[in-house]
Amino acid sequence: MTLKPSHVRARTAFAALAAAAILTGAGCSTPANADLQPAQASFAARAAAQQATNVEVKAREDGGFTVNGKLEGDHFAMAVPADWNGQALVFAHGYSVPGSSVTVSEDPADKDPSGGLMKGAYAQGFAIAHSDFDKAGVGVESAVENTLRLRAFLGRMGVTEAYVAGGSMGGNIVMAIIETQPTAFKGALSGCGLVDNWTDEVGLLIDLRALYAYYTKDTPYALPGETDLNRSALSPIAPNAIGALNEPFRLLQMKRIADPIAALFKAAKETPGGREAQIIDKIASIAGVTPEPASLIVPIMTVSLGMDDMNDTFGGGIYDNTSKVYASPLLSAEEAAALNRDIGRVRSNPSAVSYADRWRRSTGRFSVPLVAIHNRIDSLVPYSQFEGLIRKTEAAGNADRLLAITVPEINMPLTGTGLDGLAHCGFTPDQLDAAFDALQTWTNTGQRPTPVMPPPAPAP
């Protein structure tokens, strides 16, 4: 990895912050701030003076330090390296199962939520930072607000240049930010991002759940729980919101959804060409996904536990399949007729669609360099989202601001199933580093580079 710190800024960053903190006269009140080096203590004081509350600064063994605090009640965390170059990378995380904790990693250079991107940027001299969202599940609107609030805070702390990055739903957050707030960030990076629109993504999830329910009805592989496609199959939140039980309860509910789908794939492997294999092939062919475990388990689990949250967030359904004709060359005319007669149907709500389009159907119109990286096959956010962004930027006459990078898909173990499957966001840290390096080269030179991407990791 090539180091690209701005050395002039690096030598003055701590000194400038220390001077500013002394001028404010602000103090540090938390015990964790007691044994800091002068520059670190000055940063803590400066943060407290710039509208952050509950500020806690801790020294890292490498000479850097972490900052945790709240901005208007929302937790943020950052890590600042000893050789800080005066710049920052702000990261927006992806979708999490409703009921999951929204607390961010207290030390993003240690427990990196970005798959290695933040840790790599930290090693290059960047401060790295992220904010929690107001809720788990779909949360683009609040995530945009909280990420921009964090960026404004960093600006008050003297950070004049910052990049924004996001993965999965975080890619959708990135699109909303750069299309509506063009001066907030120097450049942007999306990985495996939902960079086109929510309606197509939610539609794919619902189609997979509906097809799976149709083909596994009255079999040992049927999903448990509610069958109405407008509702979650199972609640991921423990009854009576018992906090201590939420995590194990959620994991149990995830397992209850995954187990019958995994059993279907195991049976198909034992009997190639048999009933189970035919079910998988038909579902995959009709939905347009790869007939492998993760491409059914991950999307069906997401929608089976998240449908209630999606409808609550959007204000209703955003997908309508009432007139959709499902087809596949694997179906006879009689099979196709029966499928289209009996498959579950849902209707969209116009106001919900309008909200989902605001948060966020991308337009392809942005004014900062954007690097987008996507696996050729992704088990949750399909490559069609990536292709949609490319088409939009071309239609908007904006193709020269997008660097679209495709990397091969990778297989990974599917926890708790005994199966391997195609990864969602299947990038190595080296690939993320290369994408970020390309973004820096582009913004610093004004010339869009042609990056050489490292190969994917070997199969496990």
Residues 388 and 302 in one domain: no
The answer as to whether 38 is a domain residue is no
**At 418, which CATH number?**
3.40.50.1820
Same domain, 326 and 307: yes
Last residue of a domain, one of 356, 380, 408: 356
367 and 271 in a single domain? The answer is: no
Asked whether residue 165 is assigned to any structural domain, the reply reads yes
Does residue 417 lie in a domain region? yes
Longest C-alpha distance within the chain, in Å? 80
Distance of alpha carbon 169 from alpha carbon 175, whole angstroms: 10
State residue 356 phi and psi, 5-degree precision. Answer: -65, -30
Residue 231 lies in a domain: yes
Q: What distance in Å separates the CA atoms of residue 341 and residue 139, rounded to the nearest whole number?
A: 35
Examine the domain organization and report whether 246 and 288 are in the same domain.
Answer: yes
Q: Which of 156, 52, 127 is nearest to 44 (CA)?
A: 52
Pair 162, 293 in one domain:
no
End residue of a domain, out of 294, 322, 356? 356
Pairing label, strands 187-191, 370-375: parallel
pTM comes to 0.91
pLDDT tens sequence for the chain (460 residues)? 333 333 333 333 333 333 233 222 233 334 455 566 777 888 888 888 888 999 999 999 999 999 999 999 999 999 999 999 999 999 999 999 998 988 899 999 999 999 999 999 999 999 999 999 999 999 999 999 999 999 999 999 999 999 999 999 999 999 999 999 999 999 999 999 999 999 999 999 999 999 999 999 999 999 999 999 999 999 999 887 666 688 899 999 999 999 999 999 999 999 999 999 999 999 999 999 999 999 999 999 999 999 999 999 999 999 999 999 999 999 999 999 999 999 999 999 999 999 999 999 999 999 999 999 999 999 999 999 999 999 999 999 999 999 999 999 999 999 999 999 999 999 999 999 999 999 999 999 999 998 888 887 665 5
Residues 167 and 250 in one domain: no
- Does residue 455 lie in a domain region? no
Q: Do 163 and 207 share a domain, yes or no?
A: no
> What's the domain count of the chain?
2
Given 310, 332, 356, the domain boundary residue is 356
Whether residue 143 is found in the same domain as residue 180: yes
Whether residues 255 and 372 share a domain: the answer is: no
Tell me which residue range forms the domain holding 431: 62-197+363-445
| Nearest alpha-carbon partner for 96 in 105, 88, 107 | 105
**CA contacts within 13 A on the Cβ side of 308:** 14
- Residue 188 lies inside a defined structural domain of this protein: yes
3-state secondary structure of 173: helix
300-334: buried (b, 16+ CB within 10 Å) or exposed (e) per residue? bbbbbbbbbbbbebbebbbbbbeeeebebeebeee
Residue 97 maps to a domain? yes
| Contact between 385 and 255 (Cβ < 8 Å) | no
**Residues 176, 222 share a domain:** no
Q: Is residue 51 part of a domain?
A: no
Note whether 377 and 243 are same-domain residues: no
Is residue 390 located within the same domain as residue 352?
Answer: no
Which two tokens mark 323?
A: 């007139």
